[in-house]
């Protein structure tokens, strides 16, 4: 057994020095204390990195098809009344959502920005319970309510029992309504009166849109929209105004769900109109993003970048539609974020590197200081140090 132990002793890469040959110095003690503190700090930092998740980022080609995504918005117009403000959305596939009402909330604001009323409806006024009839406002025998559409009926059985239904019928025909007071339903519902009452008010509109995952746009503009000769137009004649103030503040705009670390560049952006009228445009580049947290929960969302442009009235060109337009396009590259823990072997390797590296470097420093002190002391003894 002794011979076997002796063979193992010969393999010892760390030969021991007798304690009688050790020489302890003050500088060595200071260096040892400093290196120990530094080693402890680095160990704590490495331990925190090990205990907390790190985010790995990758770029991949987005191959998803036939999907939809959600646009969340909260926009305030301090000088545009809710009665005349509408929201439209359309994309390059040809799908259109005109005068969107579902999932949209409007809040009337006074000139101080305080909320007057909250409502979930579209442009115009609430529907009357008893609209006018085509027989002089009275019912014939076994006749149900059926108001006139003033020439916009597709068939004799079509009815327009409210001002909104008349305007919808006009919209399908591609007509504009020049004077709502000539429409009995609008007159009884007080369409123009409501608009005049809200003159000088602002509007906060918020909600979300569910749109196809293709390039498109959505916009906030005054007036009811319709298609005329394949051109998207808004009926501004009923409001009897030449200029519309589209000053606005974007409280929130995001594409998809929130995920940790996302930055929406338009949140809190404000623009004040200085010219009589015009169109303010935002051009957005939407980047599909997938975020997977440490628990394996996956969030399908998006990030975006933006550029801005204001298109005012120019001499010799037709006037642009007043409104705030958001044109978005999708990037073919998808970004994936994945939260992961550092492996224990990686943590152990870094700890060993910290201990070994600091121990080696502090030994070199101590040796340099020790031999330097000895050389200086020797020169002082022989009188050669000055």
Asked if 192 contacts 239 with a C-beta cutoff of 8 angstroms, the reply is no
- Bridging pattern class, strands 224-228 and 216-222: unpaired
What's the pLDDT tens digit per position in 80-99?
A: 988 888 899 999 988 888 88
What's the pLDDT tens digit per position in 185-198?
A: 888 877 777 777 78
pLDDT score recorded for residue 13: 56
* Burial class for 326, CB neighbours closer than 10 Å (0-12, 13-18, 19+): buried
What's the pLDDT tens digit per position in 32-58?
A: 888 888 989 999 988 888 888 778 899
What's the pLDDT tens digit per position in 105-136?
A: 999 998 888 888 887 654 444 444 444 444 44
What's the pLDDT tens digit per position in 152-184?
A: 888 777 888 888 788 888 877 777 777 777 788
Concatenating the DSSP letter of every residue in 145-177 gives P----TT--SSTT----SHHHHHHHHHHHT---
**C-alpha angle with apex 207: 191 to 225, nearest 5 degrees?**
45
* Residue entry with tokens 């152990």: 348
Provide the pLDDT confidence category of residue 78 given band limits of 50, 70 and 90: very high
| Residue 201, token pair as written in the block | 């008010």
In 3D space, the residue among 234, 216, 217 whose CA is nearest the CA of residue 225 turns out to be 234
Residue 10 pairs in a beta bridge with none
pLDDT score recorded for residue 320: 73
Collapsing DSSP to helix, strand or coil, 304 comes out as strand
pLDDT score recorded for residue 211: 92
Counting Cα atoms < 13 Å in the Cβ hemisphere of 201 gives 22
Read off the DSSP letter of residue 256.
B
CA separation for the pair 88, 227 (Å, rounded): 12
CA separation for the pair 139, 148 (Å, rounded): 14
Asked if 127 contacts 141 with a C-beta cutoff of 8 angstroms, the reply is no
In 3D space, the residue among 99, 102, 116, 108 whose CA is nearest the CA of residue 77 turns out to be 108
In 3D space, the residue among 56, 53, 49, 54 whose CA is nearest the CA of residue 337 turns out to be 56
- Number of H-type helices and E-type strands within the chain: 6, 16
Collapsing DSSP to helix, strand or coil, 268 comes out as coil
Please indicate whether residue 292 or residue 137 has the higher confidence score (pLDDT): 292
pLDDT over 60 (residue 69): yes
| Residue 170, token pair as written in the block | 């006009």
| φ, ψ at 359 (rounded to 5°) | -60, -40
Residue 105 pairs in a beta bridge with 206
Asked if 235 contacts 176 with a C-beta cutoff of 8 angstroms, the reply is yes
| Residue 17, token pair as written in the block | 């020095």
| Chain Cα centroid distance, residue 315 | 36
pLDDT score recorded for residue 265: 95
pLDDT over 90 (residue 147): no
pLDDT score recorded for residue 190: 78
pLDDT over 80 (residue 268): yes
Asked if 294 contacts 53 with a C-beta cutoff of 8 angstroms, the reply is yes
Provide the pLDDT confidence category of residue 289 given band limits of 50, 70 and 90: very high
* Residue entry with tokens 């200071």: 30
Read off the DSSP letter of residue 297.
-
Using CA atoms of 42, 48, 49, 51 in order, give the dihedral in degrees to the nearest 10: 140
Please indicate whether residue 128 or residue 244 has the higher confidence score (pLDDT): 244
Please indicate whether residue 326 or residue 241 has the higher confidence score (pLDDT): 326
What percent of the chain is predicted at pLDDT more than 70? 84
| Residue 178, token pair as written in the block | 């020049």
pLDDT score recorded for residue 131: 47
Asked if 203 contacts 76 with a C-beta cutoff of 8 angstroms, the reply is yes
Counting Cα atoms < 13 Å in the Cβ hemisphere of 385 gives 11
Mean of all residue pLDDT scores within the chain: 82
CA separation for the pair 85, 204 (Å, rounded): 10
Q: Return the axis-axis angle of helices 26-51 and 344-381, rounded to nearest 10°.
A: 170
Asked if 145 contacts 237 with a C-beta cutoff of 8 angstroms, the reply is no
CA separation for the pair 204, 216 (Å, rounded): 23
């Amino acid at each position: 057994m002794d011979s076997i132990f002796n063979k193992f002793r010969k393999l010892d890469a760390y030969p021991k020095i007798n304690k009688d040959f050790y020489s302890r110095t003050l500088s060595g003690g200071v260096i040892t204390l400093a290196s120990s503190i530094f080693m402890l700090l680095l160990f704590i930092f490495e331990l925190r990195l090990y205990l907390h998740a790190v985010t790995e980022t990758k770029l991949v080609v987005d191959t998803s098809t036939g999907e939809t995504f959600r646009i969340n918005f909260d926009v305030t117009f301090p000088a545009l009344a809710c009665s005349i403000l509408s929201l439209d959305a359309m994309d390059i596939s040809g799908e259109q959502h005109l005068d969107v009402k579902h999932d949209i909330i409007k809040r009337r604001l006074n000139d101080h920005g305080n909320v007057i009323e909250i409502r979930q409806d579209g442009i115009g006024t609430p529907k009357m319970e008893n609209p006018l009839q085509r027989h002089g406002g009275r019912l014939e025998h076994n006749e149900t309510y059926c108001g006139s559409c003033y020439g916009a009926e597709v068939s004799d059985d079509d009815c327009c029992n409210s001002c909104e239904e008349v305007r919808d019928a006009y919209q399908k025909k591609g007509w504009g309504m020049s004077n709502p007071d000539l429409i009995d339903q609008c007159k009884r519902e007080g369409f123009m009166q409501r608009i005049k009452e809200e003159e000088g008010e602002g509007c906060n509109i918020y909600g979300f849109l569910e749109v196809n995952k293709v390039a498109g746009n959505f916009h906030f503009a005054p007036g009811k929209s319709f298609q005329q000769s394949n051109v998207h137009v808004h009926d501004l004649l009923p409001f009897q105004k030449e200029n519309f103030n589209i000053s606005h503040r974007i409280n929130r705009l995001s594409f998809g769900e929130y995920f940790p670390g996302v930055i929406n560049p338009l949140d809190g952006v404000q623009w004040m109109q200085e010219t009589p009228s015009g169109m303010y445009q935002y051009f957005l580049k939407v980047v599909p993003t997938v975020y997977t947290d440490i628990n394996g929960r996956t969030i399908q969302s998006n990030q975006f970048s933006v550029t801005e442009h204001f298109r005012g009235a120019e001499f010799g060109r037709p006037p642009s539609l007043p409104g705030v337009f958001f044109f978005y396009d999708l990037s073919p590259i998808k970004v994936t974020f994945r939260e992961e823990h550092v492996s224990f072997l990686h943590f152990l390797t870094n700890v060993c590197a910290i201990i070994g590296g600091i121990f080696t470097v502090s030994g070199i420093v101590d040796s340099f200081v020790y031999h330097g002190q000895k050389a200086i002391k020797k020169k002082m003894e022989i009188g050669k140090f000055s």
